[in-house]
Amino acid sequence: MRWTEVGDGVFARRYEHLDQTLGLVVGRERCLVVDTGGDEVQGAEFAAAIRAVTTLPWLVVLTHAHFDHHFGTKPFLPCPVWAHERCAAAMGADRETWAQTFQREHKHELAQRLLEAELVRPTHVLTDEVTLDLGGRKATLLHPGRGHTDHDVAVHVPDAEVVFAGDLVEQGAPPEIGHAAEWPRALDRLLALRPGTVVPGHGEPVDTAFVRRQRDELTRS
């Protein structure tokens, strides 16, 4: 587990498990937490790590409904939890499958933690995009179209030229195919923001050249 500062007051937290990357955007009055991890133990660790960076009140945004991005939300409550309007209906659908996978891999503690985690649904939803004021800094949550899921949300931090892409972008492994025909257009919308750094849901932060290559691979798939 380690922090990488990808912009002034903008951080990615890297985890060896699932090669996962969570995010933090710090403003003057509040901070934005990008995804919360796969269970409440990870969520509590992430929350404590954030408190070592800032004591500002937080908002949470969930990039999509896959278990490893949202089952760590409970330790952050009470707070606003943002997601796409279609996210809530998909949450929890993969819990049993992944718990069984962890059991087969003899990762019994991970399986139990996942099964015991409370499913926290969004309190605030967006359809296309919404801009949040963090105090002296704005962060835009946007749904660039269907890609990894039908409800992906990316986070654009314009003053830092950073985009948190969730699993629309993956570094270190091929993207998991969702809506393959539409996914390249979603990446085009992210590229149109002209970010200097793109933070994937899994893997190290990347540049736009990497995203273009991934878009082209998806176009050919």
Query: In the prediction, which pLDDT does 172 show?
Result: 87
Tokens read off for 81: 């939890």
Query: In the prediction, which pLDDT does 39 show?
Result: 98
Secondary structure of residue 147 in the 3-state scheme: coil
Tokens read off for 212: 């273009």
What percent helix, strand, coil does the chain show, rounded to 5? 30, 30, 40
Q: Which domains occur in the chain, in start order?
A: 2-220 (3.60.15.10)
Q: From the centroid of its chain, how far is CA 21?
A: 7
For residue range 55-73, list pLDDT tens digits in order: 999 999 999 999 999 999 9
For residue range 80-119, list pLDDT tens digits in order: 999 999 999 999 999 999 999 999 999 999 999 999 999 9
* Whole-number percent of the chain with pLDDT over 90: 95
Query: In the prediction, which pLDDT does 220 show?
Result: 86
Is a pLDDT exceeding 90 seen at residue 191?
Answer: yes
Separation of alpha carbons 210 and 14, rounded Å: 19
For residue range 11-43, list pLDDT tens digits in order: 999 999 999 999 999 999 999 999 999 999 999
Closest CA to 59 of 12, 129, 124: 124
Query: In the prediction, which pLDDT does 221 show?
Result: 74
Average pLDDT of every residue of the chain: 97
Query: In the prediction, which pLDDT does 108 show?
Result: 98
Query: In the prediction, which pLDDT does 174 show?
Result: 80
Closest CA to 3 of 190, 205, 197, 209: 205
Closest CA to 183 of 201, 168, 163, 193: 168
Is a pLDDT exceeding 90 seen at residue 176?
Answer: no
8 A C-beta contact, residue 157 and residue 196: no
Centre a 10 Å sphere on the Cβ of residue 74 and count the other Cβ atoms it contains.
Answer: 16
Secondary structure of residue 179 in the 3-state scheme: coil
Amino acid letter, 80: P
Query: In the prediction, which pLDDT does 1 show?
Result: 86
Separation of alpha carbons 141 and 63, rounded Å: 9
Query: In the prediction, which pLDDT does 175 show?
Result: 83
For residue range 134-156, list pLDDT tens digits in order: 999 999 999 999 999 999 999 99
